[in-house]
Chains A and B, each alone.
Chain A
Amino acid sequence: EEDLVESGGGLVQPGGSLRLSCAASGFTFSSNYMSWVRQAPGKGLEWVSVIYGGGTTFYADSVRRRFTISRDNSKKMVFLQMNSLRVADTAVYYCARETALAGATFFDLWGRGTLVTVSS
């Protein structure tokens, strides 16, 4: 069965760092784009970052130069290193698989999310 499981969330002080992990199973990981999407408490979805199979990365303006996405295809893992954290980064962070079909791309597999709380 295809699955994504996030880990690494927790409570961190403003200015601190945290590293999220996402473990994939049940599909050919190396060929898929992988994204992080977050959701602040009571708010909507916000795309954070994507990494292609070969390592190309893109970021939302709100996290560029503070967050770094990476992947280990041999371990079927994707990571999000979050530095200089702000209160506004408090959210549930979801790992999502992006599938391409006939030119379209979409998030068709999501993890259950991990909560990051930035507070003093």
Chain B
Amino acid sequence: DIQMTQSPSSLSASVGDRVTITCRASQNINTYLNWYQQKSGKAPKLLIYAASSLQSGVPSRFSGRGSGTDFTLTISSLQPEDFATYYCQQSHNTVYSFGQGTKLEIK
């Protein structure tokens, strides 16, 4: 099975900051990598699919990059509503897997 490792596990930042979250796959997954945002008590929400494609309706301050085993999610200027937990997920093979999550907190 493919293991997904995110870093950091938690991150403190201020409104207006630029932040980057990293996701590493245990083997080559090409660009079969998705990013989700989850707020407390809510279902996850798709942000980025295929490593760099922005889901419809998601603000352009969110961006994704990477291929192979190393990927990043960047928020260019943090807004109050962005404080949440972020997960990467690989869809390279049919046994899908998520990263352990990165909790983004207000500094």
B44 CB, min distance to chain A CBs, angstroms: 6
- Segment touching A, from B12-20, B74-82, B93-101: B93-101
The answer to whether residues A45 and B43 also contact, given A101-B49, A105-B91 and a CB cut-off of 8 A, is no
Chain B, residues 32-49, CB within 8 Å of chain A (1/0): the string is 101010100001111001
With A102-B50, A104-B31, A106-B34 in contact, is A45–B44 under 8 Å at CB? Answer: yes
- B95 touching A111, Cβ below 8 Å: no
Whether A106 lies near B98 (C-beta < 8 A) is no
Chain A binding surface, main DSSP class: strand
CB contacts (< 8 Å) of B83 on chain A: these are none
Number of interface residues of B (CB under 8 A): 25
A45-B98 in contact (CB<8A): yes
Interface size class of A (residues with CB under 8 A): 20 to 34
B-contact bits for A30-63, CB 8 A (1 contact / 0 none): 0000010100000011110010000000111100
B-side residues, CB < 8 A to A, are 1, 31-32, 34, 36, 38, 43-46, 49-50, 53, 55, 87, 89, 91, 94-101
A-B contact pairs, 15 of them (CB 8 A): A44-B99, A45-B87, A46-B98, A47-B96, A47-B97, A50-B96, A101-B49, A106-B49, A106-B91, A107-B34, A107-B36, A107-B46, A108-B49, A110-B44, A112-B43
Binding site for B on A (CB under 8 A): 35, 37, 44-47, 50, 58-61, 94, 101-108, 110-113
